[in-house]
């Protein structure tokens, strides 16, 4: 059965006009878009999404950034989708990201790093459910 993961094109990715480039990479690498919407998160919504990072020193700056403009939310589906998406994204810090990854090619900093991807099966379930209801996800 195809695995699902949550992808976010962050406000910097939308501002840089690379939505199409990013989706192209997913579709070219065996991932299918199963749900998609564009939203401008409130500060509270960003804080709820990143609640796991609430004790980190960068939490305030991160949630301000994530609510600074619209984002593209997607459920990606495919075999090994969680890891595949993480591979395509590259390391959190673009300076450490491998050549050819989304973050290496587009990100400006460890905070403004263009994309989010779930980091494991349990996180994926929480993150998909945070933004999408069952009838919004296409099988």
Give the interface with ligand ADP as residue ranges (CB under 6 A).
53, 58, 62, 92, 110-111, 113, 116, 119
Residue 42 touches which of ligand ADP, Mg ion, none (Cβ within 5-8 Å per kind): none
Residues of 72-103 as b/e, b for ≥16 C-beta within 10 angstroms? bbbbbbbeebbebbbebbbbeebeebeeebbb
Q: Which is nearer to ligand ADP, 25 or 116 (CB)?
A: 116
Least distance in Å: CB of 36 to ligand ADP?
19
Query: Considering only 17-25, 104-112, 114-122, 129-137, which stretch makes contact with Mg ion by CB under 5 A?
Result: 114-122
Assess whether 116 carries a catalytic annotation.
yes
Q: Which of 62, 82, 74, 72 is nearest to 13 (CA)?
A: 72
Three-state DSSP state, 12: helix
Structural contact between residues 120 and 81, judged by C-beta atoms closer than 8 angstroms: no
Residue 21 touches which of Mg ion, ligand ADP, none (Cβ within 5-8 Å per kind): none
> Among all residues, which ones are annotated catalytic?
116
């Amino acid at each position: 059965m195809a695995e699902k993961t949550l992808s976010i094109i962050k406000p910097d990715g939308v501002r840089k006009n690379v939505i199409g480039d990013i989706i192209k990479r997913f579709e070219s690498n065996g991932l299918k878009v199963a749900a998609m919407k564009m939203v401008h998160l409130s500060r509270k919504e960003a804080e709820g999404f990143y609640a796991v990072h609430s004790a980190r020193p960068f939490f305030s700056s991160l949630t301000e950034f994530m609510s600074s403009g619209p984002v593209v939310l997607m459920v990606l589906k495919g075999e090994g989708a969680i890891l595949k998406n993480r591979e395509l994204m590259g390391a959190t810090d673009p300076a450490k990201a491998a050549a050819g990854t989304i973050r290496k090619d587009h990100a400006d900093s460890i905070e403004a790093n263009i994309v989010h991807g779930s980091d494991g099966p349990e996180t994926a379930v929480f993150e998909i459910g945070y933004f999408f209801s069952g009838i919004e996800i296409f099988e």
